[in-house]
Amino acid sequence: MTQNLVVIGAGMASGRALEELFKAAPGAFRVTLFNSEPRGNYNRIMLSPVLSGEKSYEEIVTHDDAWYAEHGVETRFGEPVERIDRARKVVVTAKGETPYDKLVIATGSSPFIIPMPGHDLPGVIAYRDLDDTNKMIEAAASPGAKAVVIGGGLLGLEAAAGLRLRGMDVSVVHLAGHLMERQLDEAAGYLLRKALTERGIKIHCAASSKEIYGQGKVEGLRLEDGTEIPADLIVMAVGIRPNTAVGKAAGLAVGRGIQIDDQCVTSDPDILSVGECVEHNGAVFGLVAPIFDMAKVLAKTLLGEMDAYAPVEVATKLKVTGCDLFSAGDFAEGEGREDIVFRDPGRGVYKRLVLKDDRLLGAVMYGDTADGSWFFGLIKDGTDISEMRETLIFGPAFQGGQPLDPMAAVAALPDEAEICGCNGVSKGGIITAINAGAHDIGAIRGTCKASASCGTCTGLVEQVLGLTLGDDFVVPQAQPVCGCTDLSHEEVRRLIKARELKSQPAVWQELGWKSKDGCHVCRPAINYYLLADWPLEYQDDPQSRFVNERNHANIQKDGTYSVMPRMWGGMTTPEELIAIAEAAKRFNAVVKVTGGQRIDLLGIRKEDLPLIWKDLNDAGMVSGHAYTKGLRTVKTCVGSDWCRFGTQDSTGLGIKLEKRLWGSWTPHKVKLAVSGCPRNCAEATCKDVGVICVDSGYQIGVAGAAGMDVKETERLVDVATEEEAIEWSTAFIQLYRENAKYLDRPYKWVAKVGLDWVKEVLSDEAERKALNDRFDISQSVYQTDPWAALVTEEERKSWSAPLATVNLEAAE
């Protein structure tokens, strides 16, 4: 008969226990899951990346509604359990009673709030769940806001780094003499402090908080020595306390946590407990790895199988992008202990190994943690290292004289070596999963769970995939920008905005570029992202541009260029045509009429470019930007001025659009058209933005294509006036400028984000106006004619003339 299992708390501990249970015996229990948070199980370890803006909440959900439904779990979220009636075997909530055969308490822990004066003022929060994270994100949104984080441990520093990335002025107040004193020694603590200080975080160590002051809300923190630190937000991250209230009230044995035996059973044989709320052999828990071990044992106990929880060594990593640190084991100084230390101050690398009796006891690493899991394996296994002591600190790649191959470190690991610390998955476990058919990182996460929690071992897991599958393994999903980085375009764009990176060296340094100064793939993309996001602060770099954009002309296969003046809306005059004809004759150009309603002059040598530009400038023409990732042309028909079918002045609107948009840089080229009636002579229905005039106004279509792909535009909106048509078109292009991946035409970008999202954003009038305003700011810098930039003869020469002309015959 199916038993009733009631679970209190939908966190990572109970979530893992349920996964284990459903995997081993689907349908053995009818599960009811209570949670006081109004949501299900998400990956709490990943709140830091959510805070810093590197991930979204949706990306860290572990169990969604569909998962609960699939496993028949009745979810009672936002409904706290008030008490347990052990005699009648029911749990009581505000909505009534629920009977159980077996009960699991997984209520987790609460942040410890220091009861100092002012701790209850608005603006004092802990850092524990999504609600706290959202409060912090909200506080960071007001310009110039200040935050103080009390506690310089793992959680406090992740909070501080996240708030700083969100633009807040952040101070950390820490009681001990150096940061993360439980995981780091002083030297590593110093490097960490230095790195955080360089990011603009103020660190106060050996500092004791006295009181929080403020009238009606937080205004600052006062220290024992009298120092005052102004703050709009105070985050307490000084530790956690097991949530034992519901167990204690039910009369279970409770010490610091709810006491459990090796089978995760409490003092009541029908009540089990798991996670941060428990106490096992006098120890309480705060890291995920031992808790996942416990969850496995709990699932077995529920199924009547024998297993026993045994504590293991744990390793720690800090999830602050750019601060690589790792610590494991015991690294205090002591009798008979020896240190091996390696420092590289230039790179900010510090490694220290603590040895005793030819065994590794502990490891602390900062700046380069790639070998962490190998050292951790040596610590756990108590391996005798006397043979490799000389080269031990250089890691596995140097043992046995193998060449330095990125795969070597992983290849050298034995099958028992732990790869995923969170889930306790060994290299052998991953290989077993791969051989059973898990051939990408998603499948690995779904089966053996490696890299499914904090994700820091993803690279290692991919290497195991690579080693096991050989050439069959293709590095998955998010395609990196290029070989210089593992980040995708989308990630780079988000980090440039979130971390306010305003120069290319800042991007290379802060995002850990693997090359010195990028390559021909990433440089133009990064240059575009920076100038689009920071038009006033960033200086466009011609040396990061493809030749056409640097030389303001299209290079042809013979190394000559083509020159194309703008013809607004496809309109020209006899005077312009005469000037074009004369220039063509003077420079021996081939003349071609283009599909974009203008005239192309082909075969111009580079040194002649400034001269022909000047001729065309003098006749009143400007560059047509036929070579840019920017606005190309606005094609029009003659419209109501001449055509007997024309409904509106399509030529006039086309000219207005072109005058508004020309000169702007975009992720890829942008072509527009305006047709005066639905007969559509300007072919507006295959453009990036195409307007069709009708009697009642203007139909604006977007995301068309007529190149490698052919695609009809989709209707964005119908508007009544020219002004609205221009406002909507501009807002669409600015939204595309701010969000699209470099070299995605609008139709590709819209396919990724969805036209519904675009419509939703643009239908907000205030947002439309804000997009137009930001476009204006960018145009104030970039709407200039590059042809007119070379004013003097001198400038023209140094731009296009040879550096020197050498007469070899004379030199000989």
Q: Which residues sit at the interface with other proteins, rule CB under 8 A?
A: 515-520, 523-524, 542-547, 550-551, 555, 557-559, 798, 802-809, 811-812
> CB burial class (10 A; 0-12, 13-18, 19+) of residue 433?
buried
3-class SS of residue 222: strand
Residue among 471 and 812 whose Cβ is closer to other proteins:
812
Residue among 402 and 515 whose Cβ is closer to other proteins:
515
Question: What's the token pair of residue 155?
Answer: 């959680």
- Whole-number minimum distance, CB 561 to other proteins, in Å? 10
Q: Which of 569, 449, 198, 564 is nearest to 348 (CA)?
A: 198
- Whole-number minimum distance, CB 515 to other proteins, in Å? 6
Residue among 120 and 471 whose Cβ is closer to other proteins:
471
Characterize the bridge pairing of strands 599-604 and 590-593.
antiparallel
Q: What is the DSSP letter of 325?
A: E
Residue among 477 and 543 whose Cβ is closer to other proteins:
543
- Whole-number minimum distance, CB 614 to other proteins, in Å? 21
Q: Where are the beta strands (DSSP E) in 237-348?
A: 240-242, 258-260, 271-273, 278-280, 315-317, 325-329, 338-344
- Whole-number minimum distance, CB 514 to other proteins, in Å? 11
Burial 183-213 (b: 16+ CB within 10 A, else e): bbbebbbebbbebbeebebebbbebebbebb
Could you give the CA distance from residue 477 to residue 444 in angstroms, rounded to a whole number? 14
Residue among 550 and 796 whose Cβ is closer to other proteins:
550
- Whole-number minimum distance, CB 806 to other proteins, in Å? 5
Residue among 485 and 633 whose Cβ is closer to other proteins:
485
Residue among 182 and 520 whose Cβ is closer to other proteins:
520
Residue among 555 and 581 whose Cβ is closer to other proteins:
555
CA distances from 575 to 194, 578, 609, 610, 733 (A): 66, 5, 21, 21, 33
- Whole-number minimum distance, CB 789 to other proteins, in Å? 15
Residue among 87 and 803 whose Cβ is closer to other proteins:
803
Residue among 26 and 542 whose Cβ is closer to other proteins:
542
Residue among 27 and 802 whose Cβ is closer to other proteins:
802
Contact call for residues 699 and 718 (beta carbons, < 8 A): yes
- Whole-number minimum distance, CB 516 to other proteins, in Å? 5
Residue among 401 and 802 whose Cβ is closer to other proteins:
802
Residue among 708 and 804 whose Cβ is closer to other proteins:
804
Question: What's the token pair of residue 133?
Answer: 């994270």
Residue 82: phi, psi to the nearest 5?
A: -85, -45
- Whole-number minimum distance, CB 611 to other proteins, in Å? 17
Contact call for residues 264 and 106 (beta carbons, < 8 A): no
Q: Which of 565, 716, 733 is nearest to 665 (CA)?
A: 733
DSSP per-residue codes, 538-604: PPP-GGGS-HHHHHTSEE-TTS-EEE-B--GGG---HHHHHHHHHHHHHTT-EEEE-TTSSEEEEEE
Residue among 695 and 809 whose Cβ is closer to other proteins:
809
- Whole-number minimum distance, CB 474 to other proteins, in Å? 17
Residue among 543 and 792 whose Cβ is closer to other proteins:
543
Q: What is the DSSP letter of 112?
A: P
Could you give the CA distance from residue 181 to residue 152 in angstroms, rounded to a whole number? 9
Residue among 394 and 546 whose Cβ is closer to other proteins:
546
> CB burial class (10 A; 0-12, 13-18, 19+) of residue 640?
middle
506: Cβ contacts below 8 Å, ≥ 6 apart: none
Q: Residue written as tokens 């083509």? A: 562
Helices 489-498, 522-533: inter-axial angle, 10-degree rounding: 40
- Whole-number minimum distance, CB 812 to other proteins, in Å? 6
Could you give the CA distance from residue 313 to residue 310 in angstroms, rounded to a whole number? 10
Residue among 473 and 627 whose Cβ is closer to other proteins:
627
Residue 534: phi, psi to the nearest 5?
A: -130, 65
What sections of 454-521 are H helices per DSSP? 458-469, 489-498, 504-510
Q: What is the DSSP letter of 649?
A: -
> CB burial class (10 A; 0-12, 13-18, 19+) of residue 494?
middle
- Whole-number minimum distance, CB 557 to other proteins, in Å? 7
- Whole-number minimum distance, CB 326 to other proteins, in Å? 29
Contact call for residues 106 and 274 (beta carbons, < 8 A): yes
- Maximum Cα–Cα distance for the chain, whole Å? 110
Angle made by CA atoms 266, 270, 273, in degrees to the nearest 5: 40
- Whole-number minimum distance, CB 488 to other proteins, in Å? 20
Q: Which of 624, 647, 629 is nearest to 637 (CA)?
A: 647
- Whole-number minimum distance, CB 218 to other proteins, in Å? 46
Q: Which of 326, 329, 314 is nearest to 422 (CA)?
A: 314
Q: Residue written as tokens 């375009």? A: 489
- Whole-number minimum distance, CB 503 to other proteins, in Å? 13
- Whole-number minimum distance, CB 550 to other proteins, in Å? 7
Could you give the CA distance from residue 318 to residue 325 in angstroms, rounded to a whole number? 6
Residue among 792 and 807 whose Cβ is closer to other proteins:
807
- Whole-number minimum distance, CB 556 to other proteins, in Å? 10
- Could you give the strand order of the β-sheet that contains 554-555, starting from the edge strand earlier in sequence? 554-555, 561-563, 599-604, 590-593
Residue 259: phi, psi to the nearest 5?
A: -75, 130
- Whole-number minimum distance, CB 484 to other proteins, in Å? 9
Angle made by CA atoms 601, 603, 605, in degrees to the nearest 5: 115
